[in-house]
């Protein structure tokens, strides 16, 4: 942070140097107060604040650490290193960070749950932006308070709906998914797992469907994979190209899960679709894990949204011909271990009642 914004800090430093007074705790509170007073900071200011805060936190008492944690939990630019430091403190200090801070990643939430501390798990469970890994870890905990917190998420009041037409809502989530970062995509999947209690109508894939997509990926011919996706998912060519060309890989995982191609086929497609994915063992492993964790109803909802997005502009021009599709049978009702709704995104819960996540386990 720049010197002009910290006049009191400079005075305290000068006083401490001249008289040998330990003002570190006071300095920490002033630093944090001045940081949170400004909604936006430059990269240099954030870096400098992080360095100073980390140096001063270790000498602060628990009362001061709890005070600054509560203030920093709500600031959008809190340095990740500072948030992580506070998140591993006593639960009194860590709770506001674990429950509210946007500086924590999905991995941070997962590690907090896997620590085995029920209080930390409860703090994470209260977040509105849970990722898949943290939610799975929460459901694996044998603690009645955590189970009650997850149940409360499922049975809580529905989110306030907007006046957007239903078809536009469905199509919007597909667009947002394609536009999102990998971490944000996992949050969208988690939110849909909570919202979606039934699958959109979609034909059950046959062996030839998976083979056509896999052969297209193996051929590495320009446009081949996009053509196969457009045909088998029944989506428009532009969306199919976005899925095929997406180097992060999550849209391809959604396509494979919607068509129920199986883990091995999905892995082979990912290996050959993009060099950026195929040459990274860690990335392939992560995407395969996403395939395993994603309920099929979520993948179906995203594919349906891509189809509806293409249909919306031309709805008035169509003749209204109904194209029958197969509804999901009992064997395809996959469960949602992810009871979350992403922060800052216009997602709405479905009006239909939701079963507890433990009763909606993903099919094999």
Domain residues of the chain, as ranges? 3-104, 166-359
Instruction: List all residues 6 or more positions away from 206 whose beta carbon is below 8 Å from its beta carbon.
Output: none
Give the burial string for 319-339 (b: 16+ CB within 10 Å, else e). eeeeeeeeebeeebbbbbbbb
The yes-or-no verdict on residue 260 having pLDDT over 50 is yes
Q: Specify the pTM.
A: 0.47
- Alpha-carbon span 173 to 243, nearest angstrom: 15
Which pLDDT score is estimated for 71?
94
Q: Tokens at residue 113, please? A: 């749950």
The percent of residues above 90 in pLDDT, for the chain, comes to 19
Q: What is the mean pLDDT of residues 212-219?
A: 81
* pLDDT band, very low/low/confident/very high, at 312 (cuts 50, 70, 90): low
Q: Tokens at residue 39, please? A: 């909604």
Tell me which residue has tokens 């308070």.
Answer: 145
Average pLDDT, the chain: 74
The yes-or-no verdict on residue 143 having pLDDT over 90 is no
Q: What is the mean pLDDT of residues 259-263?
A: 88
Residue 40: CB atoms within 10 Å: 8
Which pLDDT score is estimated for 316?
40
* pLDDT band, very low/low/confident/very high, at 62 (cuts 50, 70, 90): very high
Could you read off the pLDDT of 33-60 as tens digits, one per residue?
989 998 888 878 888 888 889 989 998 9
Question: CA angle, 328 as apex, 322 and 330 as ends, to 5°?
Answer: 150
Which pLDDT score is estimated for 10?
52
Half-sphere exposure of residue 106, counting CA atoms within 13 Å on the CB side? 21
CA 220 to chain centre: 30
DSSP collapsed to 3 states, 64-100: HHHHHHHHHCCCCCCCHHHHHHHHCCCHHHHHHHHHH
Give the SS3 label for residue 117.
coil
- Alpha-carbon span 331 to 93, nearest angstrom: 46
Which pLDDT score is estimated for 88?
93
């Amino acid at each position: 942070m720049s010197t002009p914004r910290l006049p009191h800090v400079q005075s305290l430093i000068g006083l401490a140097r001249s008289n040998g007074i330990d003002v570190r705790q006071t300095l920490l509170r002033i630093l944090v107060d001045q940081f949170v007073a400004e909604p936006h900071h430059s990269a240099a200011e954030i870096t400098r604040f992080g360095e100073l805060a980390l140096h001063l936190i270790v000498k602060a008492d628990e009362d001061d650490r709890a005070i600054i944690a509560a203030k920093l939990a709500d600031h959008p630019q809190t340095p990740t290193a500072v948030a992580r430091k506070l998140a591993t403190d006593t639960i009194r200090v860590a709770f506001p960070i674990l429950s509210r801070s946007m500086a924590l990643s999905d991995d941070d939430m997962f590690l907090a749950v896997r620590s085995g501390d029920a209080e930390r798990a409860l703090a994470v469970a209260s977040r509105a932006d849970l990722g898949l890994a943290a939610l799975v870890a929460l459901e694996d905990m044998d603690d009645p308070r955590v189970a009650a917190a997850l149940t409360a998420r499922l049975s809580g009041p529905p989110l306030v709906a907007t006046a957007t037409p239903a078809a536009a809502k469905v199509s919007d989530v597909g667009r947002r998914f394609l536009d999102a970062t990998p971490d944000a995509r996992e949050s969208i999947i988690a939110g849909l797992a909570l919202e979606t209690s039934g699958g959109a109508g979609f034909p059950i894939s046959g062996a030839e469907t998976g083979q056509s997509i896999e052969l297209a990926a193996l051929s590495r011919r320009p446009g081949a994979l996009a053509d196969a996706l457009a045909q088998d998912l029944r989506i428009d060519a532009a969306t199919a190209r976005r899925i095929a060309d997406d180097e992060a890989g999550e849209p391809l995982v959604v396509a494979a899960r919607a068509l129920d191609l199986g883990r091995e086929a999905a892995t082979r497609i990912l290996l050959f679709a993009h060099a950026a994915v195929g040459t990274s063992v860690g990335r392939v492993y992560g995407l395969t894990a996403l395939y395993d964790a994603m309920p099929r109803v979520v993948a179906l909802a995203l594919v349906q949204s891509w189809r509806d997005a293409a249909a919306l502009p031309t709805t008035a021009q169509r003749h209204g011909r109904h194209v029958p599709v197969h509804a999901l049978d009992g064997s395809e009702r996959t469960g949602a271990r992810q009871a979350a709704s992403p922060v800052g995104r216009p997602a709405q819960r479905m009006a239909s009642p939701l079963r507890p996540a433990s009763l909606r386990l993903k099919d094999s």
